[in-house]
Structure 1
Amino acid sequence: MNVHVVIGAGGMGEAIARRGGTDRTIVLADINQDLLAAATDTLAGEGLTVERLHVDVTDAESMHALAEQAANLGPVVSAVHTAGLSPAQASTDAILRVDLVGVAHFLDAFGQVIAGGGAGVVIASMAGTMSAGRLPDTLESQLATTPTSALLNLPFLATITDPGTAYGIAKRANQLRVQAAALAWGTRGARVNSVSPGVISTPMGLQELAGESGAQMRAMIDAAPTRRIGTPDDIAAAVAFLTGPDASYITGTDLLVDGGAVAGVRAHMH
């Protein structure tokens, strides 16, 4: 049976696992065993075939072991990385290790096992889209192509003290590294893209709404054409498209799924 890998067992990860898991073995992975067990039990209770595996995305060996375990179960036709930390949850250092380096480990490891015709998706963020153009081209190039083991040694990262800034840069790096990784994935006949969600009604999203940046986020929602918060299913639908046959000519790019929030912000700026 084909394998559908989802890293991150939160609200978004569970929705993506459910949407893409029909007629496939779902491999759901997380570092939080309680969260992983709850999501796995829910999906299995719905009749889906689920394997739960532990992963520490900040550790290269752990990520490569996950990729090998998944490939041993069958052809890995889809692999989705949703695991991440937000500014309200974590320090600058933790955000860079999980959101920046974790995604780089995913692209490295699953780029070696993804099946021909398969596809990967990284969940980035509209924060990355908003960060585009704020960094010099030289720094964007470094974020895109620096070997994973040397990423945290980039000098400019040591100057970042604000978790919000770290988050935006990490998510911009996700978009850039996906673009760069598309070439390597293409040698296997596979594709890889990123999805950049807006404000989504997950526990993490709601925590951000209740935090320091909540007022700014609510203003973005109010200024957006859709004037609503997104749902995990909105993101799962985008991922299903990008990992499906209708997206066979789409790779190395980002899909912004934000209800028009960025468009609203830019319209007001102009």
Structure 2
Amino acid sequence: MIGDVLVVVGVGGMGEAIARRLGSGRPVVLADHDDARLQALASAMRRQGHDVRDHAVDVSDRGSVRDLAQFAAGLGPVTAVAHTAGLSPAQASAERIAAVDLVGMAISLDEFGEVIAPGGAGIYIASIAGHIFRDAVDSATAATFATAPAEDLAEVGLLSMPDVPADLARAMTYGYAKRANQIRVQAQAPRWGDRGARVNSISPGVVATPMGWDEYEAEFAHDAYKSMVNDNAAGRFGTAEDVAAAADFLLDNTKASFISGVDLLVDGGTLAGIGTGRVSMGPAETSA
């Protein structure tokens, strides 16, 4: 099959939902570090009629991401990139969260910014945590997040927390990383625009994916997550399909052709609830 290429980096719940929603009738490149998960989804989608290529990637390694971008570009014009790869505080160390969620996303923006086709678009998954941490990031740090080389970002004070409990260190690193994602996408939008392309971020609230459940059930943040789900305006978990619908809109160069460099909050009104006190973050206020 020859056609515009969709690349999905990270094949967890959100990545799978995006691939299925947007993948019909076009080449789809699925990429992940977890080979078993990658092969399972690729095989299932092929059996359902999709033109799928799988490609292993370590988003924290520039060479690996560059190989992926070049592989995708070799199949045809890359017109849609959905970067969903990430680790949560319940899943990894602060160092690994910084490597994947912060450095990895910045590398992906760089490398796919070199191959994205005119008329194409990218979406990068951030988090409501980035909004919660907005005031914690001063202007100097924000400028560094926007402009520093990707591989240097993990050194921006995120891991220098020797007196902070491990749970809180992971949560703080995650929050700073997701704020950095929002800032970095905005900063990269003009560069993508030079190629006639757009790029935006999406910040989900608590979404009922395996990662979302890991966070919801983590003891150190359970009360906050329970309120974020039960007390938001929608009164429910988000779904991977909610995020895929937002990605579908932002990647559509007819519906969203004048939208670039923005963050779309897909949280069922959770942040609004935090602002009014309806959603209670309790002692875990900076660990969403």
User: 2:206 — aligned with what?
Assistant: 199
User: 1:158 — aligned with what?
Assistant: 159
Where do 1:1-270 residues align within 5 Å? 1-154=3-156, 156-160=157-161, 162-211=169-218, 212-244=220-252, 245-268=254-277
Q: CA deviation at 1:158?
A: 3.5
Q: CA deviation at 1:213?
A: 1.1
Q: CA deviation at 1:258?
A: 0.4
State the secondary structure of the residue aligned to 1:246.
coil
Cα distance in 1, alignment partners of residues 75 and 159 from structure 2 = 40
The answer as to whether partners of 2:94 and 2:159 remain within 8 angstroms in 1 is no
Any stretches of 5+ residues in structure 1 without a counterpart?
none
The answer as to whether partners of 2:16 and 2:41 remain within 8 angstroms in 1 is yes
Q: Match for 1:158: what amino acid? A: L
Q: CA deviation at 1:269?
A: 7.7
| CA offset digits 1:96-119 (Å, max 9, x no partner) | 000000000100000000000000
- TM-score in terms of structure 2 length: 0.91
The answer as to whether partners of 1:67 and 1:113 remain within 8 angstroms in 2 is yes
| CA offset digits 1:205-262 (Å, max 9, x no partner) | 0111110212211112222110100111000000000000200000001000000011
- Larger CA deviation: 138-147 vs 56-65: 138-147
State the secondary structure of the residue aligned to 2:255.
helix
Misfit runs of 4+, over 3 Å? none
Q: Match for 1:8: what amino acid? A: G
The answer as to whether partners of 2:206 and 2:238 remain within 8 angstroms in 1 is yes
- Larger CA deviation: 141-150 vs 187-196: 141-150
| CA offset digits 1:178-216 (Å, max 9, x no partner) | 000001100000000000001111101011111021221
State the secondary structure of the residue aligned to 1:167.
helix
Q: CA deviation at 1:157?
A: 2.3
- TM-score in terms of structure 1 length: 0.97
Q: Match for 2:99: what amino acid? A: R
Cα distance in 1, alignment partners of residues 154 and 202 from structure 2 = 23
Q: Match for 1:193: what amino acid? A: N
State the secondary structure of the residue aligned to 2:159.
helix
Q: Between the two proteins, what is the percent identity of the paired residues? A: 48
Cα distance in 2, alignment partners of residues 158 and 57 from structure 1 = 19
Cα distance in 2, alignment partners of residues 235 and 80 from structure 1 = 11
- Larger CA deviation: 21-30 vs 214-223: 214-223
Cα distance in 2, alignment partners of residues 82 and 72 from structure 1 = 22
- Larger CA deviation: 39-48 vs 117-126: 39-48
Q: Match for 1:210: what amino acid? A: E
The answer as to whether partners of 1:223 and 1:265 remain within 8 angstroms in 2 is no
Any stretches of 5+ residues in structure 2 without a counterpart?
280-288
